[in-house]
Structure 1
Amino acid sequence: MEVFAVPGLPEVRPGDDLAALIERQGRLRPDDVVVVASTVVSKAEGRTADLSDFDPGARAREIAERLADLTDEEKDPRFAQAVIEESESLLLSAPFLLTKTRFGHVTVNAGIDRSNVPDADLLLLPEDPGASAQALAEALDRPVVVSDTSGRPFRHGQRGVAVGWAGIPASRDWRGEPDRDGRELGVTVQSVVDELAAASNLVAGEGGGGTPVTVVRDWQFGDHDGSDELFRDRADDLVRQALEAWDYDS
């Protein structure tokens, strides 16, 4: 397959027709998959905020004080309040804020970004990245993955992950198919939207030279069953349960 960045996109502003900008610059083919950074989706949807928009409550002040004690750095309780308001739940409140967003993604600080936001203090994740991906997919008539950059348990560094997708299943199921020695695969379910997001992130880059939209060309889902299950429910997420218990006990 080929992955390339869409060149020449302007700074995206609230209300911009993101699909039209992509189609104008993207040189798309019918079987392309379009991967769009959540940052530009959020900008088009007006998901920016200032710290002054958040009035910190007692929980936010407590979290900020605790983090300041642990890190020897002053923490703004307004930012803690923003994270609380953008989260369904906090899995960890120290030594950093690990959150579950309302759409199921587990990430640090509810995915709130403080970089590449020229006209505000904060850039929030799209309110419903799945719906955002669906609208783009319908406008472009192609599968769309909305990606974000996220850290990984047990590893240093970050990589692209999918937070929304449309026109493509989240995963392909290899269970029941033979391996190279003829043994039946029993547990392999491949998260293709995460892998496409990660591959695209290599091309998109980071920082000031980054490009927010990439195209994946000549990739085929193949003859596999698909599933849209990506985010684990709490009931079968043993890691989340352990983190919540540890945070409470600490």
Structure 2
Amino acid sequence: MQLEPVTDLPEIRPGDDLAALVADRATLEPGDVLTVASTVVSKAEGRTANLAEYPVSGRARELADRIGAVTGEEKDPRFAQAVLEESTELLIECPFMLTETHFGHICVNAGIDRSNVPGHDLLLLPRRPTESAERIRAGLEEHGLEDVAVIVTDTCGRPFRHGQRGVAIGWAGIAASRDWRGEPDRDGRELGVTVQSVVDELAAAANLVTGEGADGVPAVAIRDWEFGDLPESDELFRPVEDDLIRQALRQWAFEGGEH
């Protein structure tokens, strides 16, 4: 498998045609996968905001005050309001906000970014990242780059581990996972639970190439990777009725004192 960064992309602005910009700079072949960071997708879609745009509700002020009291750091209630408006459920409210976004992704602060946003305070995640991936894929086809899958990626932390890694939040032209259930292991025993999250693994691999911070490259072309003949699925976000962790969090409350 080969991963090649798409370099020399300009600072992305609202209305920019990401597909055209990538097509001018990348050599893509049928069967390739293009990963695109959600940051540039959001910028092209005008998903920037300023804190002044968020009138503070009582709920937002309560959350900011409580988090500030526990962490010892002042929290802006306008930011808490932005998180609430970008979320459908607040799973943890203290000492940080863990939320479900409107498209089903669970992450801290609804994935709102406060870095690398020239001229604005906040960068919000794309409203519907899979639709964003579909538009980029269609745009590539218009430029003669056919049969290229697209994955919109983000970085987020993981329970029980330090650090962040790349994950998929939207995809087009590729299934989210491949199902190993029913396949034999090396000893002939049938696998019963293994479903491989392919789009997440490709997003994580691409993140090794894109980098972080000021050195970030927002797009990567992945070549010579094959999905195989296993059953496919587009399920990525676990449904609530099967999510034991979410069910437990709904009954959990933070009771810690000040640090």
Query: For this structure pair, what is the TM-score category when the shorter chain's length is used for normalisation?
Result: over 0.9
Of the candidates 207, 210, 224, which is equivalent to residue 204 of structure 1? 210
Deviations along 1:155-210, whole A, 9 cap, x unmatched? Answer: 11100000000100000011111111221111110000000000000000001011
1:128-147 equivalent positions in 2, closer than 5 A: 128-140=128-140, 141=146, 142-147=148-153
Residue aligning to 2:75:
75
Matched, 1:236 2:229: no
Residue aligning to 1:191:
197
Deviations along 1:130-179, whole A, 9 cap, x unmatched? Answer: 10011111222311000000100111110000000010000001111111
Aligned mates of 2:255, 2:74 — CA distance in 1: 25
Q: Which amino acid aligns with 1:104?
A: G
How far is the alpha carbon of 1:249 from its aligned partner?
A: 8.1
Deviations along 1:2-61, whole A, 9 cap, x unmatched? Answer: 112101101100000000001111111122100000000000000000000000100000
Aligned mates of 1:247, 1:55 — CA distance in 2: 27
Matched, 1:168 2:174: yes
Aligned mates of 2:255, 2:73 — CA distance in 1: 24
Matched, 1:102 2:102: yes
Secondary structure (helix, strand or coil) at the match of 1:25 reads: coil
Aligned mates of 1:190, 1:138 — CA distance in 2: 26
Q: Which amino acid aligns with 1:130?
A: T
Aligned mates of 1:8, 1:27 — CA distance in 2: 14
Q: Which piece of structure 1 moves more, 202-211 or 239-248?
A: 239-248
Of the candidates 215, 221, 225, which is equivalent to residue 227 of structure 2? 221
Normalising to structure 2: TM-score of the pair?
0.94
Question: What residue ranges of structure 2 are gaps of 5+ in the alignment?
Answer: 141-145
CA RMSD of the aligned region, Å? 1.1
Question: What residue ranges of structure 1 are gaps of 5+ in the alignment?
Answer: none
Residue aligning to 1:42:
42
Q: Which amino acid aligns with 2:102?
A: R
Aligned residues of 1:47 and 1:124 also touching (Cα < 8 A)? yes
Q: Which amino acid aligns with 2:247?
A: Q
Secondary structure (helix, strand or coil) at the match of 1:247 reads: coil
Aligned mates of 1:118, 1:73 — CA distance in 2: 25
Residue aligning to 1:88:
88
Moved over 4 A (4+): none
How far is the alpha carbon of 1:119 from its aligned partner?
A: 1.5
Residue aligning to 1:177:
183
Q: Which amino acid aligns with 1:224?
A: L
Deviations along 1:87-131, whole A, 9 cap, x unmatched? Answer: 001001000000000100000000000001012000000000010
Q: Which piece of structure 1 moves more, 81-90 or 135-144?
A: 135-144
Aligned mates of 2:207, 2:222 — CA distance in 1: 11
1:1-16 equivalent positions in 2, closer than 5 A: 1-16=1-16
Normalising to structure 1: TM-score of the pair?
0.98
Q: Which amino acid aligns with 1:213?
A: A
Secondary structure (helix, strand or coil) at the match of 2:24 reads: helix
How far is the alpha carbon of 1:247 from its aligned partner?
A: 2.7
Aligned mates of 1:150, 1:171 — CA distance in 2: 19
What's the % identity of the aligned pairs? 66
How far is the alpha carbon of 1:248 from its aligned partner?
A: 7.8
Matched, 1:20 2:20: yes
Aligned mates of 1:94, 1:248 — CA distance in 2: 6
Secondary structure (helix, strand or coil) at the match of 2:12 reads: coil
Aligned residues of 2:95 and 2:254 also touching (Cα < 8 A)? no
Aligned mates of 2:179, 2:239 — CA distance in 1: 19
Residue aligning to 2:143:
none
Q: Which piece of structure 1 moves more, 238-247 or 36-45?
A: 238-247
